[in-house]
């Protein structure tokens, strides 16, 4: 057994539902930037509440391709997991969709005027878990 194990789609979605902070990679002036964001999982997509900045501009560009990552790492045991979404980013504008988004547990830590919602629709969803060395060693010993 290897220390790095791939995660199934179901495991990825379950792990995404356990957190509220991730990182989104978008382009600004043709250069990549990575920004921490608060998010909520809405079915199989990710909703972000944002300001009138780089994320909203990318969403308004009409289906910009972005990357979104969430992880949980324990440096003392060198274990953890990460989930990566590559998908399209669009602004949420339909009144019914905005009302639904406002009901989600999506409280931005940064505060400020974050009245815009954007949605990441996954195209590729992948994840991996890093197991403790002891777990891997015990699996090898039992075989």
The pLDDT tens digits of the residues spanning 22-75 come to 999 998 888 899 999 999 999 889 999 988 888 888 888 878 999 999 999 999
Domain limits, the chain: 4-142
Give DSSP secondary structure letters for 98-126. HHHHHHSS---TT-S---EEEEEEEEEEE
Q: How many CA atoms lie within 13 A of 115 on its CB side?
A: 2
Q: Cα–Cα distances in Å, from 44 out to 12, 95, 106, 120, 142? A: 10, 20, 16, 9, 37
The pLDDT tens digits of the residues spanning 31-45 come to 899 999 999 999 889
Residue 38 confidence (pLDDT)? 92
Residue 140 has pLDDT above 60, yes or no: no
Token pair listed for 116: 């815009």
Q: Among candidates 64, 70, 111, which has minimal Cα distance to 87?
A: 64
Evaluate whether the domain defined by 4-142 bears CATH number 3.40.30.10: no
């Amino acid at each position: 057994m290897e220390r790095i194990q791939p995660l199934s789609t179901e495991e990825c979605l379950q792990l995404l539902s356990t957190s509220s902070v991730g990182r989104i990679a978008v382009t600004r002036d043709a250069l990549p930037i990575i920004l921490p964001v608060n998010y909520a999982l809405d079915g199989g997509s990710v909703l972000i509440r944002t300001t009138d900045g780089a994320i909203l501009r990318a969403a308004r560009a009409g289906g910009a391709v972005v990357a979104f990552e969430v992880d949980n790492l324990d440096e003392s045991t060198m274990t953890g997991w990460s989930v990566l979404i590559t998908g399209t980013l669009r602004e949420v504008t339909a009144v019914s969709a905005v009302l639904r988004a406002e009901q989600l547990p999506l409280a931005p830590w940064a505060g400020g005027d974050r009245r815009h919602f954007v949605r990441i629709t996954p195209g590729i969803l992948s994840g991996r878990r890093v197991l403790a060395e002891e777990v891997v060693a015990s699996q090898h010993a039992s075989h």
